Amino acid sequence: MGTTAIPYIMFGGNARAALEFYQSAFGGKVEISTFGDFNVPDAPADGVMHGALTSDSLSVYCSDAMSTGEPANASRIRIAIVGDDLQTLTASFDALAQGGQVVTGLEKQMWGDVYGEIVDQYGISWMFNIATPV
């Protein structure tokens, strides 16, 4: 699989419409997982937990969620690092955490992958999703 950096945009309520708009501009395939798909409490069942627009030349991820505990002026754009090399990506996660803040430690999630979030020392938000074998 390798490792890829993908922009991840938090829309806070209109991610589905944004994906459809971006698809009309760039083409590609839209995939959406809702909060209801994962029985997330206190979230709208039809809200976008994770959305993706992918084509041969472009990938954009998004969600209707905002991370809890973030300041009101937090960036709506994050960088998603996705891959399947647990050791390498854990080392990158740990390196970015130096001087920054771990928002969510790396741990196995309900969708089966290892996931964690960091805000680095420069205020940039990073999301790591490490695919794990089933």
Q: Which of 100, 92, 94, 133 is nearest to 119 (CA)?
A: 100
User: Domain 1-66 belongs to what topology?
Assistant: 2,3-Dihydroxybiphenyl 1,2-Dioxygenase; domain 1 (3.10.180)
Residue 116 three-state SS: strand
Domain 75-134 has CATH 2.120.10.30: no
Block mean pLDDT (10 aa), the chain, length 134: 87 88 90 94 92 91 73 72 92 93 94 93 89 77
In DSSP notation, 76-95 reads SEEEEEEES-HHHHHHHHHH
- The pLDDT score that the predictor gives to residue 34 is 95
- The pLDDT score that the predictor gives to residue 75 is 63
Location of each CATH 3.10.180.10 domain in the chain? 1-66, 75-134
Residues 131 and 122: their CA atoms lie apart, in Å, by 27
pTM: 0.74
Strand pairing partners for 81? Answer: 5, 128
Contacts for 109 with CB less than 8 Å, ≥ 6 apart:
115
Residue type (1 letter), 25: A
